[in-house]
Amino acid sequence: MLVRILGSAAGGGFPQWNCNCPGCQSVREGKNTVHQRTQSSLAVRGTEGSWYLINASPDVRQQLERLRDTVPTSIRSNPIAGVLLTDAEIDHTAGLMILRESAEPLAIYGTNSVRKALTDGFSILRVLKDYCGVVWSNIEPGSTVDLNSDDSSSLEIEVFSLKSKPPKYMRSDVRGDGNHHNSVVGFTFRDRISGGVVTYAPALSELSDSILERLDKSDCILVDGTFWQNDELVKLGMSTRTSEAMGHLPLSGDNGSLNHLAKLSSKRKIFTHINNSNPILVANSAERKIVEAAGVEVGDDGLTIEF
Ligand code: MLT
Ligand code: MN
Ligand code: ZN
């Protein structure tokens, strides 16, 4: 299979429009230790079959240009056979609006909790109904996604549950009944032809034994690299919310994700969904060196992996 990181930054991108943190400023100053990055998204394609988009970021229009070289050149051609959603966060779903020009109804796969958020909260599914239309497929943790049989993809996509963290706009004190079961999931992609196994979890709030075992059994993992420290945004004076409150396990610290990832036997371990405040985005930073010394890579837009 082919896996391509379309966007390696967290929500806001790098630089973020309203941010003057050291990293964002360095990008604007054209420093050679940093470069622009678009918001969190991934594309995956089996040895046979079409590309699937995993999460639709606000930058999806530019991101899909990165798949153009591999799709037919007929007058209208859709580079993707469907969109799979890990959650209903704005940075993972706002791009659905950009896809409204589709000539066919959009095939979207998500959990029931995500469908509810995109109907009652950020009501993009109601809007799309009157544009391209949507064919929604419910996916449930513990099962394998039923991909469109017209595509005859060699991919098997397994859904696994992650700790529930509803988007701000769906918090139980704001909206809804408080049942946010399966509001965040991850995916394990298996290719029936190559045998390759890749796991993607851009929003990871804990590393339970079962998640660690899943990651360890994957040839390649692409996981949440949002924050270096739990109080990163607080220290920079950008927010009062910690990394953990936002549903992201920080990288550093004894129980941080880096320590755990370093012990896994996966051939490639890659951080993605990296916030602009995270010093690992700066090429010569001490934090980048620590990550690389632990055998983990800092993901980048366009990075393509074959397994
Ligand atoms: C997240 O990754 O936690 C969300 O994208 C945060 C947000 O955009 O509000
Ligand atoms: Mn995000
Ligand atoms: Zn910034």
**Nearest atom (ligand 1) to Cα of 167:** 9
Domain tally, the chain: 1
Which of 8, 16, 91 to probe ligand 1 with, by most ligand atoms within 8 A of CB? 91
Assign residue 135 the CATH number of its domain.
3.60.15.10
pLDDT in tens, the chain (307 residues): 999 999 999 999 999 999 999 999 999 999 999 999 999 999 999 999 999 999 999 999 999 999 987 777 777 789 999 999 999 999 999 999 999 999 999 999 999 999 999 999 999 999 999 999 999 999 999 999 999 878 899 999 999 999 999 999 998 766 666 778 999 999 999 999 999 999 999 999 999 999 999 999 999 999 999 999 999 999 999 999 999 999 999 999 999 999 999 999 999 999 999 999 999 999 999 999 999 999 999 999 999 999 9
The residue segments making up the domain with residue 105 are 2-306
Question: Which ligand is closest to the CA of 167, given by its number?
Answer: 1
- The residues, ordered by sequence, that sit 6+ positions from 190 with a Cβ below 8 Å of its Cβ are 155, 156, 157, 158, 196, 197
Q: 49 in ligand 1 pocket by Cβ < 6 Å?
A: no
**Nearest atom (ligand 1) to Cα of 247:** 3
CA–centroid distance, residue 192 to ligand 2 (Å): 30
**Nearest atom (ligand 1) to Cα of 203:** 2
Record the pTM.
Answer: 0.97
